[in-house]
Amino acid sequence: MIKKVFLTLVGLLLLVGALAGAKVFQFKTMFAAGASMVPPPETVTATEVRPDTWQPVLSAVGSVAAAQGVMLSAEEAGTVRHIAFESGATVKTGDLLLQLDTSVEQAQLRSAAAAADLARANLARARDLRAKNMVSQADLETAEAQTKQADAQQDNIRAVIGKKTLRAPFAGRTGIRQVNLGQFVNTGDPIVTLQAVDPVHVDFFLPQQLLAQLSVGMIVRVTTDAFPDQHFEGKLTVINPEVDTATRNVRLQATLDNPQGWLRPGMFVNVAAALPLLEKVLMIPATAVLYAPYGDSVFVIEEKKDEKTGAISKVLNQKFVHLGKTRGDFVVVASGLEAGQTIVTTGVFKLRNGMTVVVNNQLAPDFQVAPKPVNS
C-alpha cells in the first residue's frame, strides 16, 4: 500500500516536472525569437542641410504717424453757415472746408470802407489846404493818421472774415467732421482732422546697444495684421539724437510710400530694419528639431552596411545642435551640423537613436522662409 502511494507521488512529480520543463523551453524559444526579430523600418520625411545667405534684421514694434496731421479748429467764434467737405474726403491745399457766418463782419467792413473813403477825402483836402498854407502841419498829420487808422480797421475786419473761412492747409484726407450746419462754435472748438497719409512715418524704438548698426537710409520693411499679405518698404530717415533715459532706447523714424492709404495713423506695425550686410548660415526646418530641457537635437540619416548580408540601410544618428535665429519655417543651426547632411524633418518625437528608417517625401511639408497661411 505504501509502495503504491509512493509510486503515485513520484509519477505526479515527474509529470509536473515535465510540464514545467516544457513551459520553460517554450518561454526561452519565445524570448529568443523576440530578441532576434528586427522591427520594420520607420517611414520619415527628410531634407538636406543647406547653406543660405540671410540679411540680418533688427525687429521692433512701431506706430504709424501721418507725414502731416492736424486737428483743424475754429479760430473765431461763429455760426456754421456752409460745410464744403465730406467726412473721409481727399482735399487739396487751399480747398474750402467750412464757412462761418460773417454777416456782421461784412457790415462792419462796409462801414469801415466808408470811413476810409472819408478819411482819404479829408487827407486830400488837408494836403491842398496845406499847400496854400491854410492849415497847420499838425492838421495834415492828423488827417494822414486818420487815413491809416481807417485802412487798418478794414484790414482787421478782413482778417476776422478770413479766420471764419476754414481752408485745407495741406493736401490730405479729412476725418469725421465734428460740427453740423447751423451749429455755434467757440474759438478752439475742433472741426475735423486732416491727415496727409502718403507718405507716412513709422516711429519705433531700438535698444541703445544697436545704435552703432543703424544708419540713415537703411531699408525698413513693415507688416501689419490688418493686411497680412502686404509688405511695405521704406527707408530709415531719422535717428533721434538723444536716448530715452528711462528705457535706454533710441527713437527712430522711417518714411514709407502709402499710395493706397492702407497704413493709417495710429496703426501698430511690425518693423524689420535690414542691416547692410549678408550672413551665411545653415538652416533647417524648425520641425526637424527635438526640443528638450537638456539640449536640442536632430536625427541625421546615415547609411550603414550589414556585415553579414552586405545590405545597406538608413540609420538614425541623434546629434545635439545649437540653434540661432528663426525665419519663417526655418531655424539657423549655429553648430552641430554640416552642409550636405540629411536630417529627418517631421515626427522626430517618435524616433530614437539607431533606428532604421526609409525616406518618403511624398507628403513632406512645403517649408518656406516667408510662409503665408491659406486662411489669413
Which residues 6+ apart lie within 8 Å of 259 measured at CB?
A: 198
Judgement on whether residues 345 and 289 belong to the same structural domain of the protein: yes
**Within-domain flag for 35:** no
Judgement on whether residues 265 and 291 belong to the same structural domain of the protein: no
Give residue 372's pLDDT.
66
Number of structural domains in the chain? 3
Judgement on whether residues 248 and 263 belong to the same structural domain of the protein: yes
Backbone angles phi, psi at 8, to 5 degrees: -65, -45
Judgement on whether residues 263 and 287 belong to the same structural domain of the protein: no
Is pLDDT above 80 for 67? Answer: yes
pLDDT in tens, 121-138: 877 777 777 777 777 788
Judgement on whether residues 133 and 155 belong to the same structural domain of the protein: yes
CATH of the domain at 286: 2.40.420.20
Judgement on whether residues 241 and 287 belong to the same structural domain of the protein: no
Q: Three cell numbers at 323?
A: 540653434
| Radius of gyration of the chain from its Cα atoms, rounded to whole angstroms | 44
**Within-domain flag for 90:** no
Where does the pLDDT of residue 210 fall: very low under 50, low under 70, confident under 90, or very high at 90 and above? confident
Where does the pLDDT of residue 6 fall: very low under 50, low under 70, confident under 90, or very high at 90 and above? low
Lowest mean pLDDT across 98-102, 123-127, 251-255: 123-127
Q: What is the DSSP string of 138-184?
A: HHHHHHHHHHHHHHHHHHHHHHHHHHTEEE-SSSEEE------TT-E
Give residue 358's pLDDT.
85
**Within-domain flag for 290:** yes
Judgement on whether residues 291 and 332 belong to the same structural domain of the protein: yes
Q: Three cell numbers at 37?
A: 526579430
Cis amide prior to 285 (ω within 30 degrees): no
Separation of alpha carbons 334 and 323, rounded Å: 5
Which whole number is the average pLDDT over 260-266?
88
Give residue 32's pLDDT.
58
> Could you tell me if 49 and 338 are in contact, meaning their C-beta atoms sit under 8 angstroms apart?
yes
Is pLDDT above 60 for 34? Answer: no
Which whole number is the average pLDDT over 339-356?
87
- Total Cβ atoms within 10 A of residue 366: 6
Which residues 6+ apart lie within 8 Å of 20 measured at CB?
A: none
Q: Is 295 left (phi over 0), alpha (psi -120 to 50) or beta?
A: left
Separation of alpha carbons 98 and 169, rounded Å: 13
Judgement on whether residues 242 and 259 belong to the same structural domain of the protein: yes
Judgement on whether residues 290 and 270 belong to the same structural domain of the protein: no
Where does the pLDDT of residue 256 fall: very low under 50, low under 70, confident under 90, or very high at 90 and above? very high
CATH of the domain at 115: 1.10.287
Give residue 255's pLDDT.
93
Bridge partners, 255 (sequence order): 201, 235
Q: What is the pTM of this model?
A: 0.61
Bridge partners, 59 (sequence order): 272
Lowest mean pLDDT across 230-244, 296-310, 320-334: 296-310
Judgement on whether residues 295 and 345 belong to the same structural domain of the protein: yes
Separation of alpha carbons 44 and 296, rounded Å: 19
| Structural domain harbouring 131 | 102-163
Which whole number is the average pLDDT over 24-50?
70
**Within-domain flag for 220:** yes
Give residue 30's pLDDT.
64
CATH of the domain at 215: 2.40.30.170
Judgement on whether residues 269 and 247 belong to the same structural domain of the protein: yes
Lowest mean pLDDT across 4-8, 212-216, 276-280: 4-8
Q: Which of 274, 297, 325 is the last residue of a domain?
A: 274
**Within-domain flag for 31:** no
Judgement on whether residues 47 and 110 belong to the same structural domain of the protein: no
Is pLDDT above 90 for 63? Answer: yes
